[in-house]
Structures are given as C-alpha cells and as structure tokens.
Amino acid sequence: MNTAIILAAGKGSRMKAQLNKQYLILKEKPILAHTISVFEESPLIDEIILVISEFEHDLCKNKILDKYKFKKVKKIVSGGKERQHSVLKGINAVNEKTDIVLIHDGARPLLTKNVIKKCVDSAKEYGAASVGVPIKETIKIMGKDKFVKYTPKRENVWVTQTPQAFSIEVIKRAHEVAIEQEILGTDDAMLVEHMGGDVKMVEGDYENIKITTPDDLITAEAILAHKKHI
C-alpha cells in the first residue's frame, strides 16, 4: 500500500499574505486543493495523510475538505515546529499496511501523476527516491568571506523537489537516527543520506515549483494557463 503525506503545516512567512499560502487561490481553487487532487487522481496512491497547522483545522475544513470531499484523505494531523517534525507526525499516522510513503510539499500544486509514478517505482526498487531536476545555471560554493571557493561540475548538480518516496522501514529508521543524533534536515532524503543510505534521483519537471514568494503565484498561474492550452 502506498501512502502520501502532504505537508501544509508551515507558516508561509515568505509569502507575506494574510492567509497561510496553502489556502490562497490559484485558478479558482486553493493551492492545497490542487495538490491533493493530483494524489487523489493517481491510481498508485491508496491513502493520503494531511498535515496541517494545529490552528488551521477549521480553515482547512471550510476551504478545502467540505468543498472538495477528497475520498483518499484518511487522516488529518497537526504538524510540528519545523518541516521535519511535521513529516514525523505524518509518518506516525500511516496505516500499518503501508509499504511506500511519499512525502510532498502542499505548496507544490503543479506536480503530475507521471512524476508520482516514477517516484513510487524508484522507491520500490531502491528504497529511497527523490524527484529533482538538473540545474540550469552554474553554481558557486562560497566561503564565509563571500569569495568563491569552487564551482561544482554542472552535470552533477540537481535541484531537489518533492515528492520524495521511501520504503516505510527506511524512512522510519532515518527519522529515528535524526532524533538520536539531533539532525534537522531541510528534506527527508537528507536524513537517509545521513545514515549512509542511497537515494535515487528521479527526473521530474521544471514546472513542479514550490510556491514560496508572491512572484511564484504569477509563475504558477502562467504554467496552469499554458497547460490548459495543450
């Protein structure tokens, strides 16, 4: 069984909006509703666990759950202080029949079912997989003094996105080790890497952006408008 954990318990502070960014409207629908819809429509996803802010249960009910009536959303749990804490709360809520867990940012509404499939397939084969895209620009690694230390070969540098998918044993163990060793990662693949595990990179789409700042909303609207015409 494949379970998706969708994270929406952040504060959205960089968006500087009145409302948590997940509930802002993108093409007549809240961002989070777009995101959940993709997992709801994927035949590979059996259950969805939604992780939201403890203060936004009513908001989520009113803006999303009552209106869209997603059948696969089986549990709604409150998130934690950092993203990693929210993920762990989601992992602790997965059904005991779960083999593969997908972890996805609620703020990435433009993923596709095809990317979900590639990610699940790789997690089944390798135990851990992350979606990402090759970097388009040249990266510089800086010293603290803001002088360039070195330039990594561009073909080896990818931008990470979500979903990331794992066998349940791998991701549970990675979070246990992170707690024991007080590691706080910005994604879940990092925790698997930290315990020496291999993470397979799966090529996704450049369009699978994370809505972080106001200009990302403009980009997302444009991508959706373009998709409608193809």
Q: Count residues contacting ligand CTP (CB under 6 A)?
A: 21
For 196-215, letters b (16+ CB in 10 Å) and e give ebebbebebeebbbbbbeee
Contact with ligand CTP (CB under 6 A): which of 4, 5, 9, 45?
9
Taking the complex as a whole, the smallest distance from the CB of residue 35 to ligand CTP amounts, in Å, to 8
Residue nearer to ligand CTP on the CB measure, 106 or 163 = 106
Taking the complex as a whole, the smallest distance from the CB of residue 121 to Mg ion amounts, in Å, to 29
**Extended strands (E) in the chain:** 2-8, 25-26, 29-30, 47-52, 73-78, 100-105, 128-134, 141-142, 148-150, 158-167, 200-203
Q: Binding string, 87-106, against ligand CTP, x = CB under 6 A? A: ------------------xx
- Spatial distance between the Cα atoms of 104 and 90, rounded to a whole number of angstroms: 11
Residue 23 to residues 56, 106, 126, 176, Cα–Cα distance (Å): 10, 10, 35, 32
First CA to last CA across the chain, in angstroms?
Answer: 33
Residue nearer to Mg ion on the CB measure, 10 or 30 = 10
Residue nearer to Mg ion on the CB measure, 108 or 118 = 108
83 interacts with ligand CTP by CB under 6 A:
yes
Taking the complex as a whole, the smallest distance from the CB of residue 88 to ligand CTP amounts, in Å, to 10
Contact with ligand CTP (CB under 6 A): which of 24, 36, 38, 51?
51
Q: Which residues bind Mg ion (CB under 5 A)?
A: 10
